[in-house]
Amino acid sequence: MPVVLRALRQTFVTALAVTVLAVPIATPWAALPVRGDLVVAGMSMPVEFATAPGRPRDLFIVEQGGRIRILRDGVLLPAPFVDIGPLVLAGGERGLLGLAFHPKHATNGRLFVNYTRAGDGATVVASFRVSAADADRVDPASRGELLTVAQPFENHNGGALRFGPDGYLYIAMGDGGSGNDPGNRAQDPQELLGKMLRIDVDHGAPYGIPPGNVYAGSGGGRPEIFASGLRNPWRFSFDRVAGDLYIGDVGQDAQEEVDFLPRDAAPGANFGWRVVEGTRCTGLPNGPQCPSPSFTPPILVYEHGEGCSVTGGVVYRGRAIPVLYGRYVYADFCTGRMWSAARDRNGAWHAEALAETGHQIAAIGEDAAGELYWSDLRTGDVHRLAGDPSVPVAIEYYNGANGHYFLTAFADEAAYLDAGAFGGAWQRTGYGFAVARPLESGAVDVCRFFGAPATGLDTHFYTGDAPECAVLKANPRWTYEAVGFRARPPAADACAPNTRPVWRFYSDPATLAGVNHRFTTDGTVHAAMLARGWLAEGVAFCAK
């Protein structure tokens, strides 16, 4: 994160206001139908979001100067959760930077913060408990220091904290600062700087070392190290469904990058800094050969023409925007550009523009329901990403009782299913895709058929192919239900630019129970269905 003027804090510290406004953000090249809603205006340098297990109404927002605020049901509570301002050296890239709640917070009340210490500027990871008398207050007397790391320069403090799916606390450390990592710290196993650390807060005093850590017991390096070769990991997250780790790592002069490790990846990944920046060898001395197969390359990069400082985000797992489900959302701090990215069916990553916010996006986070928020450091405003209701979306449902997938683009039908029709057997999978508007040129009708169980089928089927639609209409085993939605037809199993393939899967009754179909745009789902023995039947139609 680049330098932020100290004056900003003074300007906004007294300007707290609570408003909820629907403000469309400028999205001239957005590929997905989204908008931003202003949730809170004028906070004091909001730099991080966190949620607490057992508190589904609350989103915690970290202010760089040392306060943590509670956004409850979309309204900012007037009193801070905690204010550790006197302990914190704030300004530029320093301050209160990280917050994570213990996985068992609902019973033990523990939380963890990462801040720059007043006086010497060292990074401190400390623990607190909520007050026994008031769960909306932290007990200041409960503070305990876990880890202190001296900082040789003001910048590159990383700072995010997250608990992984393994229950350990992950701590993102920058390389110590200046430029080009002058101490070569990110590659030095005797340094905690430039690393992703992993500690066990439930054993040991003040913490234990997870037995799988790279140097746990070996003596070859600091035992807290989980991964190395990071420059300034500005915001990382775990996908709450898949458990995968995503790290936004801020670049030097050329490229911004996002690094990735799948759930349960072995410790010891080296993301390459300062030997490599993004995908480019830096030529800096005293590193291993470059390029090196020992480095884990980024999954996403962009050049310094598209931005200058990446802000790592989250994999969207909310309900408000079905077209975004399962996609990783990240942004650039300098330009306010926001992207979403996902893997295709071959495992390759692709990013596409999501919005031009014009904001200084310091943090992207999710609330307890998985809805996505971001903060604008310039204004102190917090925004929530919302779907654009004017764009029709096909929403996927699944019936666990009979393994039946279903798509609907009819809002009243979705509301009926969401209200628990058929005893609640139908549940949203989270996935969906944007379909064509009713009169959109170039789109075709997608016929929706139901094969009732009595006919030996038990499935819904969708086709945008007019001859196939006519054939099925004449087949007594299939019941024609409606034009389900409109979509663009594929050409030779491919889709035009700015549209995405909807792949059709078939469960062959010869090998799996029952006739079944599923339609998806998602490469991860594609791979999962193949692994489950479903047959890929190519591109059914093209969606947005």
Binding site for Ca ion (CB under 5 A): 271-272
For Ca ion, the closer CB: 16 or 308: 308
Query: What is the closest distance, in whole angstroms, from the C-beta atom of residue 295 to Ca ion in the complex?
Result: 7
Query: What is the closest distance, in whole angstroms, from the C-beta atom of residue 151 to Ca ion in the complex?
Result: 21
Q: What is the DSSP letter of 424?
A: G
For Ca ion, the closer CB: 271 or 330: 271
What is the rounded CA–CA span in Å between residue 165 and residue 111?
A: 16
Least Cα distance to 123 among 159, 92, 160, 177 occurs for 159
For Ca ion, the closer CB: 282 or 360: 282
Query: What is the closest distance, in whole angstroms, from the C-beta atom of residue 229 to Ca ion in the complex?
Result: 6
For Ca ion, the closer CB: 42 or 229: 229
One DSSP character per residue, 424-444 reads GTEEEEEEEEE-B-TT-TT-E
Least Cα distance to 186 among 197, 200, 202, 201 occurs for 197
Query: What is the closest distance, in whole angstroms, from the C-beta atom of residue 186 to Ca ion in the complex?
Result: 9
For Ca ion, the closer CB: 124 or 269: 269
What is the rounded CA–CA span in Å between residue 285 and residue 367?
A: 43
Query: What is the closest distance, in whole angstroms, from the C-beta atom of residue 277 to Ca ion in the complex?
Result: 7
Query: How far is CA 531 from each of CA 160, 525, 534, rounded to the nearest angstrom?
Result: 35, 10, 7
Query: What is the closest distance, in whole angstroms, from the C-beta atom of residue 544 to Ca ion in the complex?
Result: 32
What is the rounded CA–CA span in Å between residue 242 and residue 149?
A: 31
Torsion of CA 481, 485, 489, 494, to 10 degrees: -110
Give the angle 155-161-162 at the CA atoms, nearest 5°: 150
What is the rounded CA–CA span in Å between residue 380 and residue 60?
A: 15
Query: What is the closest distance, in whole angstroms, from the C-beta atom of residue 274 to Ca ion in the complex?
Result: 9
Nearby residues of 69 by Cβ (< 8 Å), 6 or more positions away: 43, 60, 61, 63, 76, 77, 80, 81
Least Cα distance to 287 among 202, 374, 214, 184 occurs for 184
Nearby residues of 525 by Cβ (< 8 Å), 6 or more positions away: 326, 431, 518
For Ca ion, the closer CB: 152 or 297: 297
Query: What is the closest distance, in whole angstroms, from the C-beta atom of residue 438 to Ca ion in the complex?
Result: 46
Question: Mapping DSSP to helix (H, G, I), strand (E, B) and coil, where does residue 415 land?
Answer: helix
CB-CB neighbours of 532 under 10 Å? 11
For Ca ion, the closer CB: 210 or 272: 272
Contact call for residues 463 and 487 (beta carbons, < 8 A): no
Query: What is the closest distance, in whole angstroms, from the C-beta atom of residue 227 to Ca ion in the complex?
Result: 11
Query: What is the closest distance, in whole angstroms, from the C-beta atom of residue 288 to Ca ion in the complex?
Result: 13
Query: What is the closest distance, in whole angstroms, from the C-beta atom of residue 185 to Ca ion in the complex?
Result: 14
Contact call for residues 313 and 258 (beta carbons, < 8 A): no
For Ca ion, the closer CB: 271 or 505: 271
For Ca ion, the closer CB: 278 or 336: 278
Contact call for residues 274 and 174 (beta carbons, < 8 A): no
Which tokens belong to 244? 């995968």
For Ca ion, the closer CB: 63 or 257: 257
140 cis-preceded (ω within 30 degrees of 0): no
Q: How many CA atoms lie within 13 A of 345 on its CB side?
A: 15
What is the rounded CA–CA span in Å between residue 313 and residue 173?
A: 17
Query: What is the closest distance, in whole angstroms, from the C-beta atom of residue 296 to Ca ion in the complex?
Result: 8
For Ca ion, the closer CB: 272 or 392: 272
For Ca ion, the closer CB: 89 or 247: 247
Question: Mapping DSSP to helix (H, G, I), strand (E, B) and coil, where does residue 394 land?
Answer: strand
For Ca ion, the closer CB: 102 or 274: 274
Query: How far is CA 387 from each of CA 166, 322, 354, rounded to the nearest angstrom?
Result: 32, 8, 12
Query: What is the closest distance, in whole angstroms, from the C-beta atom of residue 490 to Ca ion in the complex?
Result: 37
Helices (H), ranges, 32-152: 105-108
| Residue found under tokens 């704030």 | 90
What is the rounded CA–CA span in Å between residue 219 and residue 239?
A: 32
